[in-house]
Amino acid sequence: MHFNHHTTGLLAIACAASCTAQTTTTTPTSCTATVYSQIAPAVAACTSITLRDIYAPPSSSIDLSKVKAGTVITFAGTTTFGFTNDSSFDPIILGGKGVRVTASAGSVIDGNGQAYWDGLGSNGGVPKPNHFIVVSKMTGGSIIENLNIRNWPVHLFSISGSDQLILRNMYLNNTAGDVPNSRSGTLAAGHNSDGFDLSSTTNTLLQNTIVYNQDDCVAITSGNNITVENMYCSGGHGISIGSVGGKSNNNVTNITFRNSKVINSSNGPRIKTNYNTTGFISNITYSNIQLTNIDTYGIDVQQDYLNGGPTGDPSNGVVISNVLFQNVYGTATSDARNYYVLCGSGSCSNITFSGTKITGGGEASYCNYPAQVVLLD
């Protein structure tokens, strides 16, 4: 739909009487869209946008990346999506300066994951939208908050190129993907369902959010000055730096994870670097992290990572320095290791454990740097 700037009558038709002027000017400031076709005119014209009970047809993104500075976007009712058999398709796109994305009480964003899940995620099988919500170049104190999201197909938030961004107070529930289906056999149907993937992002705060999923709760692959706090992560692969290496940006600095819980997951705190790549990881803190029922590694630092499985042979092209695990505590399962540190030759320095106590792992911990960490068992 083409928006004609000189005719307010056409604007009224395009918004289907859902755009309501709040001032005496000819440009409305508040719009409510109730069908997909009303979204683009609202983005072009309004600074307060409500999306109520939107159904996005196949191959139709809810594109909110070009809203005016300072716009408030509210998801209301139930937002649903048609089936799009395309791994490069992005169902929701967010961007802008000083933008606030929020939701009304009782609203739900449902990603229609059941139509895609096959136990393979982005590793094959049915082509599926690889990133459900793409956040690109959100700046100037933008806020994403209060969203209730369920059943996303693969990765949920892909955040890149953003600065001074706050994400908070969200409930993200992919537990329907825990159950096998006819396509996944004995495997959980949901796979690669990361909660938050952050890259090339700075000065960002992620807090007060609950994530139930089947992969990383949070994964930071590049960025600077990011704080992740007061998280509840269940069912996934832990709170991660990485995997780092082999990407366009491979520097991760000044990252803090604190005051969070990781439950029924493969790992707790995790730093993973890709085999035979280069990069730089420094000034990483995990503080006051409670672990419960971790089934692979309580704390994991490994430099032999490959998506198809670790090699067991670490490389040293990614430098890891100044890492603090402080008051990380809790339980692992009988077939897990409490601690696993596998560094390349000379590539790790100043990894410190303070007040850390993980118990229950039945497999012996392994740490080649610093060797004394095995004494923590």
| Catalytic residue positions, numbered | 215, 237
**What 8-state DSSP symbol labels residue 66?**
T
| Cα dihedral sign, 313-319-320-322 | positive
Pair 204, 226: CB distance under 8 Å:
yes
What is the C-alpha separation between 138 and 341, in angstroms, rounded? 35
Q: How far is CA 354 from the centre of its chain?
A: 28
> Within 13 A of 115's CA, how many CA atoms are on the CB side?
15
Beta strands in 122-238 (DSSP E): 131-139, 142-145, 148-150, 155-160, 165-168, 171-173, 196-199, 201-212, 218-220, 223-234
Pairing of strands 155-160, 131-139: parallel
| Cα dihedral sign, 40-42-45-48 | negative
